[in-house]
Amino acid sequence: MPRRHLVSHRLVAVFLLGCLLFNYPLLAVLDRFGSIGGLPSSFVWLMAAWFFLIVLMAVIVERSDNRDY
């Protein structure tokens, strides 16, 4: 696989990961945890997962060469 495809393939993987993290059934599992540190677990989970995805995307994009993808 050429390098330039690697970046976009990684991002597609992030997309799939996001679909998993933001949806049933994973969300249902976390929703039943109750609260984490006084905050509702689903809220904490969604914000944390969201931020994690953004960091992941930033790392993938910024580490790649300008000409990639």
Partner 1 sequence: MLTVWIIVAASLAYLVLLFGIAWYADRRADAGRSVIDNSLVYALSLGVYCTTWTFYGSVGRAAASGIGFLPIYLGPTLLFALGAVILHKMIRIAKANRITSIADFVASRYGKSQLLGGLVSVIAVVGVIPYIALQLKAVSSTFVLLTEVGLQPGAATVAPLLQDSAFYVAGLLAVFTILFGTRHMDATERHEGMVAAIAFESVIKLVAFLAAGLFVVYGMYGGLGDLFDKARAVPEITQRLLGDGRAVIDYGNWFALTLLAFFAALLLPRQFQIAVVENVNPQHLRRAIWLFPLYLFLINLFVLPIALAGLMHFPGGTDADSFVLTLPMAFQQQSLTLLVFVGGLSAATGMVIVETIALSTMVCNDLVMPVLLRWRALGLQQREDLTGLLLGIRRWAIAIILALGYLYFRIAGEAYALVSIGLISFAAMAQFAPVVLGGMYWKGGTQSGALAALGAGFFIWTYTLLLPSFAKSGWLPADFLQHGPWGIELLRPQQLFGLTGLSEITHCLVWSMVFNLGSYVGVSLMRIPDAREARQAKLFVEESGAAAPNWRGGAELDDLLPLAARFIGPERAQEAFDRHARSRGFTSSAALHGVKSDAELVHFAETLLAGAIGSASARAMVASVVQEEPLGLDEVMNILDEASQVRAYSHELEIKSQELTQATAELRAANERLRELDSLKDDFISTVTHELRTPLTSIRAFSEMLHEDPKIDLVERTRFLGIIVSETERLSRLINQILDLAKLESGRAEWTSAEVNLSEVIREAVDSISSLAKEKKITLQLDLPEPGAIVLADRDRLTQVMINLLSNSVKFVASGSGHVKVGAGETADEVSVSVCDNGPGIRAEDRELIFEKFRQGTGDAGALTDKPQGTGLGLPISRQIIEYFGGKLWVESELGKGACFRFTLPRDSAQNRR
* Nearer of residues 3 and 28 to partner 1, judged by Cβ: 28
Residue 69's contacts (CB-CB under 8 Å, 6 or more residues apart) are 4, 5, 7, 8
- Least distance from partner 1 to the Cβ atom of residue 69, Å: 5
Helix axes of 3-21 and 41-63: crossing angle, nearest 10 degrees: 180
In degrees and rounded to multiples of 5, residue 22 shows phi and psi of -90, 5
What letter would DSSP give residue 25? T
Binding region for partner 1 (CB under 8 A) = 7-8, 11-12, 14-15, 18-19, 22-24, 27-28, 31-32, 34-35, 37-40, 42-43, 46-47, 50-51, 53-55, 57-58, 61-62, 66, 69
* Nearer of residues 3 and 23 to partner 1, judged by Cβ: 23
